[in-house]
């Protein structure tokens, strides 16, 4: 291994940062352009800070409640699985538990980016022609992947250890040790994840198609993702109840204790070792142990690089074998004329389904997230025998909640799928082709939005079909679908306008356009903000205002023959329930529908000129 490793890492990082923050640091000479740029830069920096606060905030709260509780504890021995454990050992087990969680995040993030590190870009093709050893090439890739995939988990480990350090009043040098521990832990996770993914890919080599191999490997790892989610939900459920904190702390220590005796013991052993170092168990010898852990990670890194570099390069250079299909150019069905927005819709659809990175970060999320969440809830409730109770209480829920759930879930899901927020970036260098064609920008965006709405519609189906079994009312299904679509429309308009402001067009690897695109993050954050906004909006229009208005008119007798009531009932197909609830609900739904439509119209009018002018200004 030589200096080339660092040059390759530097090159990759430079390329990543350049395309990632191009808009933030680019220096334009035009003064009028500059003032607009400054505003957009400030907005983006604010969003970036907000992103880190959202990501780190909930984890920080979790760590704070546990470590604060433990720091105030009487430090007596604890009974875990029938064995007496010293308090300092108990702390080590708790920290180890957090480390295991962080390890799993890094492991999964790296694993799920499988399609990105197995796709061969033009630059990599060139690197492979240079006299660079496969070990050097692979080593640089492992370090690069660690840096890219562990930003989130690195942040979590630093938060965990800082909160621990704060409550247990450790000396200042420990904070430097914590930084090194965080790097060791996450690098260790990546080093376990990459060989497993390579071995799985190798297992499916007979398929002779890298894309299919990547899909299959990800499906194999799905149970782990679902398991992790169940685990995390359990934690959040326990942490919300302060009286459960003690039991929770003991149970997580018990989990770590059991894991250390399982088949995973070699991995857990190292994690517990790092936790012991962080907890201060090694006292004055801490630097010695720190050096030992650095050396150990370096040694594992070296072994993995030596063992897997050839396998990596051989998979990387593998070409997909396509199926031979019969094709006749003269067949008339090959030539169908479509309207412009529909042809853009078709192009988008074909691209997103055929490109693994686009599919895994888009449509796959729409199907995967409800599956993971649904299965997690099902398993959790089934094990606690609470499924029947929950289902019966859900059935008794007011109808308004049904709409809340449907709208918010489809909305959040749409934002997580990043289909609209990366729609311009996904065009990459081909955007110049689009610009040379006689496409009306509004037609172009119509195609893009139709495509995003198509996936929102799938979201709505995915959410509403299970809900229909709880609330078997077709009128509710239709109405909530309509409201969800209207709100999704607004969201997609805003998401596309964010991507349009600073699209990431110069990418070599498709994953850079979606997963490593800050516009997707901004869009998720805005989506979350909008969810809160829409929740209150729905509450106001479906419950608060109609109730108040209705209260004023309670003296007015309900007349089933009244044309207004009849029309509203027939329009919204809401004929069940009591007269009063129906009336309030109908009025609320009607107002909400009108308000959502008005909001949509206002946003379309506000963004119309922006879409048009920005389209022509983008220079790839």
Binding flags for other proteins, 345-374, as an x/- string (CB under 8 A): -xx--xx--xx-------------------
Nearer to other proteins, 262 or 337 (CB): 337
Residue 237 structure tokens:
């459920």
> 67, exposed or middle or buried, with CB in 10 Å at 0-12, 13-18, 19+?
buried
CA neighbor of 103 nearest in space, from 178, 207, 201, 185? 185
Please list the alpha-helical segments (H only) found in 540-562: 545-552
User: What element of type H or E holds 464?
Assistant: helix 441-470
For the segment 519-578, give every residue that binds other proteins (CB under 8 A).
Answer: none
Residue 555 structure tokens:
């003296």
Among the listed residues 167, 435, 539, 608, the single contact to other proteins using CB under 8 A: 435
36 binds other proteins (CB under 8 A): no
Shortest gap between Cβ of 328 and other proteins (angstroms)?
9
CA neighbor of 218 nearest in space, from 204, 233, 232? 204
Q: In whole angstroms, what is the distance from residue 92 CA to residue 98 CA?
A: 10
Nearer to other proteins, 356 or 546 (CB): 356
CA neighbor of 22 nearest in space, from 419, 509, 615, 517? 517
Nearer to other proteins, 433 or 529 (CB): 433
Among the listed residues 130, 263, 329, 551, the single contact to other proteins using CB under 8 A: 329
338 binds other proteins (CB under 8 A): yes
**Segment near other proteins (CB under 8 A), from 71-79, 434-442, 494-502, 596-604?**
434-442
Among the listed residues 246, 432, 547, 571, the single contact to other proteins using CB under 8 A: 432
339 binds other proteins (CB under 8 A): yes
Q: In whole angstroms, what is the distance from residue 129 CA to residue 186 CA?
A: 31
The angle at the Cα of 24, spanning 21 to 25, to the nearest 5 degrees, equals 90
Binding flags for other proteins, 579-618, as an x/- string (CB under 8 A): -------------------------------------xx-
- Can you tell me which residue has the tokens 């088949």? 263
CA neighbor of 156 nearest in space, from 129, 116, 185? 185
Shortest gap between Cβ of 78 and other proteins (angstroms)?
56
Q: In whole angstroms, what is the distance from residue 462 CA to residue 352 CA?
A: 19
- Can you tell me which residue has the tokens 């080590």? 92
The angle that helices 399-416 and 474-501 make with each other, rounded to 10 degrees, is: 30
Count of positions on this chain that bind other proteins (CB under 8 A): 39
For the segment 136-195, give every residue that binds other proteins (CB under 8 A).
Answer: none
Shortest gap between Cβ of 114 and other proteins (angstroms)?
18
Nearer to other proteins, 310 or 321 (CB): 321
**Segment near other proteins (CB under 8 A), from 168-176, 330-338, 363-371, 415-423?**
330-338
For the segment 235-274, give every residue that binds other proteins (CB under 8 A).
Answer: none
DSSP string, 72-95: TS----EEETTEEE-HHHHHHHHH
126 binds other proteins (CB under 8 A): no
**Segment near other proteins (CB under 8 A), from 53-61, 168-176, 331-339, 481-489?**
331-339
How many CB atoms are closer than 10 A to CB 439? 17
Shortest gap between Cβ of 327 and other proteins (angstroms)?
4
Nearer to other proteins, 399 or 427 (CB): 427
Whether the Cβ atoms of residue 419 and residue 458 lie closer than 8 Å to each other: no
Q: In whole angstroms, what is the distance from residue 73 CA to residue 253 CA?
A: 15
436 binds other proteins (CB under 8 A): yes
Nearer to other proteins, 68 or 435 (CB): 435
Q: In whole angstroms, what is the distance from residue 89 CA to residue 469 CA?
A: 49
Among the listed residues 32, 240, 288, 336, the single contact to other proteins using CB under 8 A: 336
Nearer to other proteins, 33 or 395 (CB): 33
438 binds other proteins (CB under 8 A): yes
Bridge partners of 78, per DSSP, are 85
25 binds other proteins (CB under 8 A): no
332 binds other proteins (CB under 8 A): yes
335 binds other proteins (CB under 8 A): yes
Among the listed residues 39, 433, 478, 549, the single contact to other proteins using CB under 8 A: 433
Shortest gap between Cβ of 330 and other proteins (angstroms)?
7
Nearer to other proteins, 335 or 469 (CB): 335
**Segment near other proteins (CB under 8 A), from 84-92, 228-236, 402-410, 432-440?**
432-440
Nearer to other proteins, 348 or 582 (CB): 348
Residue 559 structure tokens:
């007349």
For the segment 399-428, give every residue that binds other proteins (CB under 8 A).
Answer: 427-428
Contacts of 307 (CB under 8 A, 6+ apart): 195
> 282, exposed or middle or buried, with CB in 10 Å at 0-12, 13-18, 19+?
middle
Nearer to other proteins, 437 or 551 (CB): 437
Bridge partners of 85, per DSSP, are 78
Whether the Cβ atoms of residue 481 and residue 409 lie closer than 8 Å to each other: no
Contacts of 180 (CB under 8 A, 6+ apart): 290, 293, 294
Q: List residues binding other proteins (CB under 8 A).
A: 29, 322, 325, 327, 329-330, 332, 334-340, 342-343, 346-347, 350-351, 354-355, 427-430, 432-433, 435-440, 510, 616-617, 619-620
């Amino acid at each position: 291994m030589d200096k080339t490793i660092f040059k390759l890492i530097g090159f990759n990082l430079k390329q990543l940062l350049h395309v990632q923050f191009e808009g933030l640091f680019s220096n334009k000479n035009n003064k009028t352009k500059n003032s607009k740029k400054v505003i957009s830069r400030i907005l983006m920096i604010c969003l970036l800070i907000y992103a880190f606060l959202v990501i780190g905030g909930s984890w920080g709260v979790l760590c704070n409640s546990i470590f604060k509780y433990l720091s105030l504890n009487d430090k007596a021995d604890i009974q875990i699985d029938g064995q007496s454990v010293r308090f300092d050992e108990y702390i080590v087990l708790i920290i180890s538990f957090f480390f295991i969680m962080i390890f799993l995040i890094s492991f999964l993030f790296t694993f799920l980016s499988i399609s990105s590190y197995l796709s061969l870009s033009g630059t990599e093709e060139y690197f492979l022609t240079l006299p660079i050893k496969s070990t050097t090439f692979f080593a640089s890739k492992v370090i690069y992947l660690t840096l890219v995939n562990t930003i989130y988990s690195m942040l979590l480990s630093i938060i965990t250890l800082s909160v621990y350090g704060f409550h247990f009043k450790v000396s200042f040098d420990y904070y430097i040790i914590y930084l090194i521990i965080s790097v060791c832990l996450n690098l260790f996770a990546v080093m376990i994840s990459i060989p497993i993914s390579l071995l799985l890919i190798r297992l499916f080599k007979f398929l002779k198609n890298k894309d299919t191999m990547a899909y299959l490997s990800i499906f194999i790892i799905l149970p782990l993702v679902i398991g992790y989610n169940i685990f995390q939900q359990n934690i959040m459920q326990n942490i919300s109840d302060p009286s459960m904190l003690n039991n929770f702390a003991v149970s997580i220590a018990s989990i770590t204790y059991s894991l250390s005796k399982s088949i995973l013991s070699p991995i857990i052993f190292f994690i517990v070792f790092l936790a012991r170092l962080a907890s201060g168990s090694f006292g004055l010898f801490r630097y010695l142990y720190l050096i030992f852990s650095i050396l150990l990670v370096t040694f594992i890194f070296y072994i993995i690089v030596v063992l897997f570099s050839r396998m990596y390069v051989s998979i990387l250079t593998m070409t997909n074998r396509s199926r031979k299909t019969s094709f006749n150019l003269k067949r008339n069905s090959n030539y169908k004329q479509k309207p412009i927005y529909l042809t853009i819709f078709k192009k988008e659809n074909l691209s997103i389904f055929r490109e693994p990175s686009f599919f895994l970060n888009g449509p796959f999320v729409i199907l995967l997230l409800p599956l993971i969440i649904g299965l997690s809830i099902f398993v959790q409730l089934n094990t606690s025998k609470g499924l029947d109770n929950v289902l019966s209480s859900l059935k008794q829920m007011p109808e308004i909640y049904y709409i809340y759930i449907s709208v918010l879930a489809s909305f959040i899901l749409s934002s997580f799928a990043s289909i609209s927020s990366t729609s311009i970036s996904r065009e990459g260098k081909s955007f110049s082709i689009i610009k040379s064609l006689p496409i009306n920008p509004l037609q172009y965006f119509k195609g893009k939005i139709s495509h995003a709405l198509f996936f929102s519609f799938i979201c709505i189906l995915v959410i509403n079909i299970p809900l229909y079994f709880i609330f078997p009312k077709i009128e509710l299904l239709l109405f909530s679908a309509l409201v969800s679509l209207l709100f999704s429309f607004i969201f997609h308009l805003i998401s596309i306008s964010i991507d349009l402001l600073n699209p990431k067009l110069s990418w070599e690897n498709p994953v850079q356009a979606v997963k490593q695109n800050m516009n997707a993050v901004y869009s998720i954050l805005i989506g979350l903000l909008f969810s809160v906004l829409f929740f209150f909006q729905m509450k106001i229009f479906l419950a608060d205002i109609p109730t108040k208005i209705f209260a004023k008119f309670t003296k007015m007798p309900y007349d089933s023959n009244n044309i207004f009531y009849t029309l509203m009932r027939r329009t919204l197909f809401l004929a069940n329930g009591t007269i009063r609830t129906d009336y309030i609900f109908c009025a609320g739904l009607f107002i909400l529908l009108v308000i959502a439509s008005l909001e949509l119209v206002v946003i379309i009018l506000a963004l119309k000129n922006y879409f048009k002018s920005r389209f022509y200004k983008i220079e790839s």
